[in-house]
Amino acid sequence: MISQQKIEELQAALQELKAAREQELEELRIQWLGKKGEITRLFEEFRTVSPEQKREFGQRLNQLKTAAQNRINELREALDQIAGGGKASFDLTKPGDRMDLGARHPISITREEILSIFRKFGYSVAEGPEIEDDWHVFSALNFPPEHPARDMQDTFFVSPGGENPILLRTHTSSVQVRTMERQQPPIRVVCPGRVFRNEAISARAHCIFHQVEGLYIDKNVSFADLKQAILLFAREMFGPETQIRMRPSYFPFTEPSAEVDVSCNICHGKGCNICKGTGWLEILGCGMVDPNVLRANGIDPEVYSGFAFGMGIERIAMLKWQVKDLRHYFENDLRFLREFETVI
């Protein structure tokens, strides 16, 4: 029989309803709202309610019906969520999401290429710390005490005072010093690494860049050996037609010293805007290791001689791929990096 109490009981029972499967939910719906369901039956009994009670019972019954509908809908949503947003969007035959592969950075690609050329020539790879002391970056390399590179304007100091200031290395020649400390000749090493110089950032200069430097020490090493090593490297790197030329230069740690140009691989010597009309591109500095450097590092210059060279990886990469602005290497703009995706 219809009564306030019955309606209240049903209201409370609604909150307890649970459905773990679609079928259970359908059974609940039929049980509550179906043609022979609880609420439908109450609506039938409603006809027997006395006229003065009709208004109140009518309202309560309608509320109960809405509550039952809401509860069934709630349960349906919960079930849909468990199923992963409904049947339609759960397609097991769909291919999976593609995972984007990363690519190597042009500086890494170039470094590997340089190193693999020298590995073929019999060099091994040596690395050392980025935070160095004055001895390994300057003094052991024959820099006089008043040399401008030792100035704050050129070098970042970590702790500037004292006998042997701590600084960020300005070249990877420091690793060559560390190699000589450890090992007697024959020495054949290439030293890749990050270096730091106190320079304003522009299209052609950066305060952080990368180098590969090389050191070759043995008996009877001559300038001709140096020239041959550089020529072979240049041809491996820029193509078999490449020519080199050497211009006299100065470094405290080499004597004689030279700067090396390669024939422009874009215009093949005719002159273009990459080589600024000269037909030549500067790629590295080199020279015969100064006897003072050998002596400072415990190697007898009467017995041994050697050569050293050093190049900027950014510069080599710029020449190889005609990158016009050095800052591209550091900004990690994907449009730039993706251009190297297919370079292995």
Residue 251 vs 280, nearer CB to ligand PHE: 251
CB of 259 to ligand PHE, least distance (A): 8
Could you list the residues that contact ligand PHE (CB under 6 A)?
A: 171, 173, 213, 251, 254, 285-287, 308-310
The closest of 97, 160, 168, 161 to 137, measured between CA atoms, is 168
CB of 285 to ligand PHE, least distance (A): 3
Residue 238 vs 307, nearer CB to ligand PHE: 307
CB of 232 to ligand PHE, least distance (A): 17
Residue 192 vs 285, nearer CB to ligand PHE: 285
CA 229 from centre of chain: 32
Residue 68 vs 126, nearer CB to ligand PHE: 126
Residue 75 vs 170, nearer CB to ligand PHE: 170
Nearest residue (beta carbon) to ligand PHE: 310
CB of 338 to ligand PHE, least distance (A): 31
| Contact criterion met (CB below 8 Å) for 192 and 173 | no
Separation between Cα atoms, residue 62 and residue 44, nearest integer Å: 13
CB of 233 to ligand PHE, least distance (A): 14
CB of 172 to ligand PHE, least distance (A): 7
Residue 106 vs 285, nearer CB to ligand PHE: 285
Query: Which strands, in side-by-side order, build the sheet including 166-168?
Result: 131-133, 166-168, 157-159
